[in-house]
Structure 1
Amino acid sequence: MTIRKPQYEDLLAADQALGLGISKADIQAFTELLEEVSHDYAIVDALTPELPEVRYPRTPGHYPAPAENPYNAWYVKSEVKGRPGGQLEGLNLALKDNVMLAGVPMMAGASSLRGYTPDVDATLVTRLLDQGATILGKAQCEYFCVSGSSHTSAQGPVKNPWDEARSAGGSSSGCSALVSAGLVDAAIGTDQGGSVRIPAAYAGFVGMKPTHGVVPYTGVMPVEMTLDHAGVMSGDVRTNARVLEAIVGDDGLDPRQRRLPDSFDYLSQLEAGATGLRIAIIAEGFGWENSEEEVDAAVRAGAERLRSLGATVDQVSLPLHRKGHAIWTPIAIEGTANQLEGFNYGSNWKGLYVTSLMRAQQDWRANASDFPADVTSVLLAAHYFRGHYHGQYYAKAQNLVRRLKAAYEAVLADYDLLLMPTVPLKAPRLPDPGCGAREWVGRALEMNTNTAPFNATGLPAISVPCGMAQGLPVGMMLIGRDYTEATLYRAAAAYEAAFDWKTL
Structure 2
Amino acid sequence: MVVKQPTPEQLREISASYNLNLSDADVASFLGLVEGAMASYRRLDELVEPAPEVRHPRSGAYRPEPEENALGAWYWRCRIRGSDGGPLAGKRLAIKDNVCVAGVPMMNGTAVLEGYVPEADATVVARILDAGGEILGKAVCESLCFSGGSHTSDTGPVRNPHDRSRSAGGSSSGSSALVASGECDAAIGGDQGGSIRIPASWCGVYGLKGTHGLVPYTGAFPIELTLDHVGPIGATVEDVALLLSAIAGEDGLDPRQAGVRVDDYLSDLDGGVEGVRIGVLSEGFGWPGLSEEDVDASVREAAEVLRGLGAEVGEVSVPLHRDGIHIWNGIAIEGATALMVSGNSMGTNWKGHYTTSLLDAYARGRITRADDLAETVKLTMLVGRYMQQRYHGRYYAKAQNLSRKLSAAYHAALSEYDLLVLPTVPMKATPIPPADAPREEIVARALEMIHNTCAFDVTGLPSMSVPCGTSEGLPVGAMLVGPDWGEAKILRAARAFEGTKTYSAAPVPPGHARGSGVAG
In structure 1, the partner of 2:498 is 496
Residue number in structure 2 paired with 1:178: 178
Which secondary structure does the structure 1 equivalent of 2:314 belong to?
A: strand
> Could you give the per-residue CA deviations for residues 383-440 of structure 1, whole angstroms, max 9, x where no partner exists?
2222221111111000000000000000111211000000000111111111111111
Distance (whole Å) between structure 1 residues aligned to residue 462 and residue 13 of structure 2: 49
Contact kept? 1:60, 1:105, Cα under 8 Å? no
Alignment correspondent of 2:334:
334
Q: What residue number does 1:442 align with?
A: 444
Partner of 2:221, secondary structure, is coil
Q: Normalising by the residue count of structure 1, what TM-score does the alignment of the two structures yield? A: 0.98
Q: Which moved more, 1:383-392 or 1:211-220?
A: 383-392
Match of 2:425 among 423, 426, 442: 423
Q: d(CA) in 2 for partners of 1:354 and 1:373?
A: 26
Could you give the per-residue CA deviations for residues 320-371 of structure 1, whole angstroms, max 9, x where no partner exists? 1111111111111111111222111211111211110111121313212122
Deviation at 1:264, TM superposition (A): 2.2
C-alpha contact (below 8 Å) 2:60/2:79 kept by paired residues? no
Q: Deviations over 1:130-175 (max 9, x none)?
A: 0000001101000000000000000000000100000000000111
Question: 1:264 maps to what in 2?
Answer: 263
The worse-fitting range, judged by mean Cα deviation, of 28-37 and 443-452 is: 28-37
| Aligned counterpart, 1:377 | 379
Q: TM-score when scaled to structure 2? A: 0.95
1:390 matched to which residue of 2?
A: 392
Q: Distance in 2 between matches of 1:473 and 1:137?
A: 26
Q: Quote the residue 2:56 is aligned against.
A: 56
Question: Aligned-pair distance for 1:60?
Answer: 6.1
Q: Which of 453, 456, 459 is the aligned partner of 2:458?
A: 456
- Which of 424, 430, 434 is the equivalent residue of 1:432? 434
Partner of 1:101, secondary structure, is coil
Structure 1 residues 256 and 200: CA distance shift in structure 2, 3 A: same
Cα deviation code 1:247-273 (max 9, x no counterpart): 011100011100112x42100111111
Q: Which amino acid aligns with 1:249?
A: G
Q: Gapped runs of 5+ residues in structure 1?
A: none
Aligned-residue sequence identity (percent) comes to 52
Q: Output the CA distance in 1 between the equivalents of 2:56 and 2:401.
A: 43
Tell me the amino acid that sits aligned with residue 127 of structure 1: R
Using the alignment, how far apart are the partners of 1:385 and 1:11 within structure 2?
Answer: 26
Check the 8 A contact 2:191/2:457 in 1, yes or no: yes
CA–CA distance in 1 between the matches of 2:13 and 2:99?
A: 39
Contact 2:283 2:321 in 1 (8 A): yes
| Structure 1 residues 18-54: Cα deviation after superposition (integer angstroms, max 9, x where no partner) | 3322222232222122211111111111111111111
| Secondary structure of 2:416's aligned partner | coil
How far residue 297 of structure 1 moved from its aligned partner, in angstroms, is 0.3
Corresponding position: 1:70 with 2:70: yes
CA contact 1:169–1:202 (8 Å) conserved in 2:
yes
- 1:190 aligned partner: 190
When residues 60 and 382 of structure 1 are mapped into structure 2, their CA distance, relative to the original with a 3 A threshold, is farther
2:348 corresponds in structure 1 to 347
8 A contact 1:60–1:103 mirrored in 2: no
Q: Give yes or no for contact 1:60–1:104 (8 Å, CA) kept in 2.
A: no
AA of the residue aligned to 1:361: Y
Which of 367, 380, 403 is the aligned partner of 1:365? 367
- AA aligned to 1:344 is S
Matches within 5 A, 1:140-289: 140-261=140-261, 263-289=262-288
What is the Cα deviation at residue 502 of structure 1?
4.2
SS at match of 1:153: coil
Distance across 2 between alignment mates of 1:425 and 1:502: 20
Tell me if the contact between 1:99 and 1:221 (Cα under 8 Å) persists in the aligned partners. Answer: yes
Deviations 1:229-248 (A, max 9, x none): 00111100001000001001
CA positional deviation for 1:119: 1.6
| Contact 1:6–1:35 (8 Å) recurs in 2 | no
How far is the alpha carbon of 1:275 from its aligned partner?
A: 0.6
Letter of the structure 2 residue corresponding to residue 404 of structure 1? L
Which has the larger displacement, 30-39 or 2-11? 2-11
Q: Give the secondary-structure state (helix, strand or coil) at the position aligned to 2:299.
A: helix
Q: Deviations over 1:84-143 (max 9, x none)?
A: 011111000000000000111001000100111112210111101000000011010000
Contact kept? 1:145, 1:172, Cα under 8 Å: yes
1:487 to partner: Cα distance: 0.3
Per the alignment, residue 514 of structure 2 pairs with none
Could you tell me how far apart the structure 1 residues matched to 2:166 and 2:4 are? 52
AA of the residue aligned to 1:467: G
- 8 Å CA contact 2:192–2:223 kept in 1: the answer is yes
Amino acid at match of 2:169: G
Query: What residue identity is the alignment partner of 2:407?
Result: K
Task: Tell me the distance in 2 between the aligned counterparts of 1:108 and 1:486.
Answer: 31
Of the structure 1 ranges 66-75 and 340-349, higher mean CA displacement relative to structure 2 is found in: 340-349
Distance in 2 of aligned mates of 1:304 and 1:44: 62
Q: Output the aligned Cα RMSD.
A: 1.2
Task: State the AA in 2 paired with 1:375.
Answer: V
One-letter code of the match for 1:279? I
2:104 corresponding residue in structure 1: 104
Q: Give the conservation status (yes or no) of the 8 Å contact 1:93–1:133.
A: yes
Query: Between Structure 1 and Structure 2, how many residues are aligned?
Result: 502
Choose 200-209 or 27-36, whichever is displaced more: 27-36
Query: How much does 1:14 deviate?
Result: 2.8
CA distance, structure 2, for counterparts of residue 431 and residue 3 of structure 1: 46
Q: What CA distance in whole angstroms lies between the structure 2 residues aligned with 1:380 and 1:33? A: 35
Unmatched tracts of structure 2, length 5 or more: 506-520
